[in-house]
């Protein structure tokens, strides 16, 4: 019997045993999960998906992603809408320290049939300083000889990071030879994009300004 046949036989002998536990404590047996996956497969086939095609699955929970700090080096180009009001566009380099972590576990009473424990899982962590770009716009109003207030919008993009959960490659299954004798352990990857929107307001004090003369 090949790997698929062994797994199928093991699953059939555990149809009513809990396989997935939902956040509210509800458990689903393999029979319910198998029925749901068959419906999804039927829907994908009706949409034209064929064997070997790749599809993306969006789940409720997403990997943890953290932006520890963000800095920018920018130029700004402005237009004096009035003697005391500057409207401007800005853009340049963005940089920051980003990190992310993700993992998953799966429990199945059929796993021991192929030499694994009933629970299997993996996780990984990523951290690095990345550079990207930023663009934005704003305005600054000189309401007193040396003071101005400003409001500014920025969009930043530090790119995306993709990393593998667990080891890469395959392990030999005991009792199997030829086709179906390997269990691949790099079945999942995580991709996270570090981008966002920033709205800032501020109060500026201008050194060396002449009384009554705006200096941005």
The predicted-structure confidence for 140-178, as pLDDT tens digits, reads as follows 999 988 899 999 999 999 998 887 776 555 666 655 555
Phi, psi of 32, deg, nearest 5: -70, -40
pLDDT at residue 92, rounded to an integer: 96
The Cα–Cα gap between 31 and 35 comes to 6
The residues spanned by each domain of the chain are 1-57, 61-216
Question: pLDDT by residue (tens digit) across 20-73?
Answer: 666 677 777 878 777 777 887 787 788 888 877 766 655 444 567 788 889 999
pLDDT at residue 184, rounded to an integer: 56
Query: Could you give the percent of the chain with pLDDT greater than 70?
Result: 64
- Assign 210 a pLDDT band (cuts: 50, 70, 90): low
């Amino acid at each position: 019997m090949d790997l698929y046949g062994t797994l199928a036989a093991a699953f059939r002998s555990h149809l009513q045993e809990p396989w997935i536990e939902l956040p509210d404590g509800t458990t689903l047996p393999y029979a319910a999960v198998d029925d749901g996956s068959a419906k999804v497969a039927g829907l994908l086939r009706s949409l034209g998906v064929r064997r070997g095609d790749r599809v993306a699955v969006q789940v409720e929970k997403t990997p943890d992603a953290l932006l520890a700090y963000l800095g920018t080096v920018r130029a700004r180009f402005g237009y004096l809408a009035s003697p005391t009001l500057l409207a401007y566009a800005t853009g340049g380099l963005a940089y920051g320290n980003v990190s992310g972590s993700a993992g998953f576990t799966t429990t199945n009473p059929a796993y021991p049939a192929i030499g694994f424990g009933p629970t299997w899982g993996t996780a990984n962590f990523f951290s690095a300083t990345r550079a990207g770009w930023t663009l934005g716009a704003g305005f600054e109003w000189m309401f007193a000889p040396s003071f101005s207030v400003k409001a500014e919008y920025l969009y930043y993009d530090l790119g995306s990071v993709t990393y593998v959960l667990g080891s890469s490659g395959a392990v030999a299954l005991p009792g199997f030879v030829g086709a179906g004798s390997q269990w691949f352990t790099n079945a999942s990857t995580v991709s996270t994009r570090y981008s966002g929107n920033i709205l800032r307001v501020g109060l500026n004090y201008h050194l060396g300004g002449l009384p009554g003369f705006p200096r941005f």
